[in-house]
Amino acid sequence: MRPDVALYNGIAPDGTLQYYTTTRGGSNEFLVHGIRHHESFAKSPEVNEVCKVHDRHARARNARLIMSNIIPDMASQAVIPYCIWYPDVATEDTYRELFYRHPEMRYHIGRACAVAGYRQLYNELDLLPDVSIAEEACDNGALDIFEHIVSQPLRFAVMNDYQRSVDLQNPRPGACLNGDTAIRSSLQRHQPSRKDGGAPEKEPNLKGEHIDLLHNPLPRDLPPINKDILVLMAAWDGNIDRYARLRRPVTVPNEITAFVRGAYHHTPFARWLETCAYHARFIMNDDLSRIDSEVDGETLPEFFWWPHSPHENTLRELTWRRPDLKHQVTLACIAGNHEDIFHELSDGTKPTQEQWEAALQSRRKFYLENIERRAKEEDLEFCDRYDWIQEYLRPTNEFYRGYDELAVIKEISNEPDDHSEDWDDWYQPEDNLFNYHMHLQMLVSNNLDDSGPSTLALHYVDVVQSQIVQTRTMPAQHIYQITAFAFEPLEDQGFEVGSMQHGEIPEVD
């Protein structure tokens, strides 16, 4: 058996504990799990020696002893455990005795009462109505404790599962049930296998009765759900109010991609974030007033030419203000087809792998020929990689400009295949929403029935004619992005919906 698997199961082969605690600084998750789940292992002399050195393992051992109805000696706050209700609960008398010895643990004990349903002991503790205890009580069926807390006009956030801390001095008033509690059921990660031997089925993030939360105002108290998908949707849509309320102190899977997308498409959301995406949105808006030599380079974006390509003068000014962005500006020049600036910036420099990959996506052969010629002079070779797995993020997705600029069709006809091209040269549009032919096709009616011009096409013409597009604050491409996203599964947008777990609190100690 592998040493880490052995520790996970409460078994310590010779020398294993010493190796893991000395080489990994006492931060071994497998050992913590083994101690919390196996009483005999927690009581072993080997573990006892480890706990004298590492407080984290001491907390895990003390939690295991409490859940086994043994109250250990805890001389300092550093060895007092946070979670004393998973994987097991102690008896009511054990928790009562623990309260007498360590009154500072009263909220920990109250949380355990919510798990086990010890209402009498909960009343004896005389606690503030804490929302974490309420969510735990709801999850474990202790509805009397749950109703007692939520019926209070003022509730508090005393326990913090993200930091595994209890704020007894300054609890936050006015708290609501917001899905920030690592309820006991979320810690039980093992799922039963299917009868046919296949992988266990994943529980959906939002069940049927909660789907309305995606498109309705949020209630004061969220129902007991995994809110990760709500966080992602709020970030993707650039919804400041929802995202500010729902987001966790730690990011959930795909959150970075979602809120960067929201900032790239929604200027107010970008201003609120004040991060790399914040600067990217304003670069695309041709606004460099927030970028100078004093701005921390870590906050500057590496990608600022999609969904809107900056003007060539903006790119030239950006290079003057921030020479450290010179390479990224060359990529923007390739995507936006700015040959003159590309010549200026690339003269005397070595071509890069990123420039070559961007040139592969350009319809202009000039960039690829230029880069490959310079690479040959420098004796450089590029790796033939296929990194453009998300079609909608390709740098050529900007609206075509110059001689390829799309004209606004004044009269919309129901002829989706009429591209104003010679029939012999016509070919089926690529499977990419943002290619040239699809743009043109969406300018005419794309209806599949006889009801007349499509609403989307009419709306697009209204937008263009009212010159909203020309404000450069909301590219017309945003219309297509919203439409595409509304009808495509989340998996197609790069979201691993089925794999999202509760806000990660890996192994409570």
Give the least confident one: 125-134, 146-155, 194-203, 450-459: 450-459
The pLDDT of residue 7 is above 50: yes
**In contact, 507 and 189? CB cutoff 8 Å:** no
Mean pLDDT of 263-271: 86
Q: How confident is the model at residue 201 (pLDDT cuts 50, 70, 90)?
A: low
Q: What is residue 322's predicted lDDT score, i.e. its pLDDT?
A: 92
Give the least confident one: 61-70, 91-100, 364-373, 433-442: 433-442
DSSP letters for 188-227: ----PPPTTS-PPPPPPSS-GGGGGGGTSPPPSS--SS-T
Mean pLDDT of 331-340: 92
Say what percent of the chain tops pLDDT 90.
41
Q: What is residue 439's predicted lDDT score, i.e. its pLDDT?
A: 41
Q: What is residue 151's predicted lDDT score, i.e. its pLDDT?
A: 96
191-195, 251-255, 320-324: which is most confident: 320-324
- DSSP-derived 3-state class of residue 170: coil
Q: What is residue 20's predicted lDDT score, i.e. its pLDDT?
A: 61
Mean pLDDT of 347-371: 88
The pLDDT of residue 440 is above 60: no
> How far lies 10's CA from each of 7, 70, 130, in Å?
5, 19, 34
Mean pLDDT of 418-440: 40
Task: Tell me which amino acid residue 440 is.
Answer: L
What is the reported pTM?
A: 0.59
* Cis, bond preceding 307 (omega within 30 deg of 0): yes
352-366, 385-399, 437-451: which is most confident: 352-366
Q: How confident is the model at residue 459 (pLDDT cuts 50, 70, 90)?
A: very low
Q: What is residue 4's predicted lDDT score, i.e. its pLDDT?
A: 77
Mean pLDDT of 331-351: 90
Mean pLDDT, the chain, integer: 75
Q: How confident is the model at residue 313 (pLDDT cuts 50, 70, 90)?
A: very high
Q: How confident is the model at residue 385 (pLDDT cuts 50, 70, 90)?
A: low
Mean pLDDT of 400-419: 40
Q: What is residue 390's predicted lDDT score, i.e. its pLDDT?
A: 40
- Domain borders along the chain are 1-81, 83-185+212-224, 305-398, 404-493
Element (H, E) at 263: helix 255-265
**In contact, 193 and 509? CB cutoff 8 Å:** no
**In contact, 118 and 92? CB cutoff 8 Å:** yes
Higher pLDDT, 448 or 347: 347
**In contact, 135 and 158? CB cutoff 8 Å:** no
Quote the CA–CA distance of 398 and 396 in Å, as a whole number: 6
Q: What is residue 135's predicted lDDT score, i.e. its pLDDT?
A: 97
Q: How confident is the model at residue 441 (pLDDT cuts 50, 70, 90)?
A: very low
User: pLDDT of 28-54, one tens digit each?
Assistant: 788 899 999 999 999 998 898 888 888
Q: How confident is the model at residue 158 (pLDDT cuts 50, 70, 90)?
A: very high
Q: What is residue 260's predicted lDDT score, i.e. its pLDDT?
A: 82
Mean pLDDT of 336-348: 90
Mean pLDDT of 331-349: 90
Task: Tell me which amino acid residue 474 is.
Answer: M
Higher pLDDT, 465 or 320: 320
166-180, 298-312, 440-454: which is most confident: 166-180
Higher pLDDT, 138 or 205: 138
Residue 452's region, left for phi above 0, alpha for psi from -120 to 50, else beta, is left
Q: How confident is the model at residue 210 (pLDDT cuts 50, 70, 90)?
A: confident
Residue 472, Cβ density class (10 Å: 0-12 exposed, 13-18 middle, ≥19 buried): middle
**In contact, 336 and 307? CB cutoff 8 Å:** no
Q: How confident is the model at residue 205 (pLDDT cuts 50, 70, 90)?
A: low
> How far lies 314's CA from each of 263, 311, 497, in Å?
19, 5, 38
Say what percent of the chain tops pLDDT 70.
68
Q: What is residue 28's predicted lDDT score, i.e. its pLDDT?
A: 76
Mean pLDDT of 307-335: 91
The pLDDT of residue 504 is above 70: no
> How far lies 166's CA from each of 110, 122, 292, in Å?
12, 17, 42
Q: What is residue 290's predicted lDDT score, i.e. its pLDDT?
A: 87
Q: What is residue 18's predicted lDDT score, i.e. its pLDDT?
A: 66
Quote the CA–CA distance of 235 and 222 in Å, as a whole number: 18
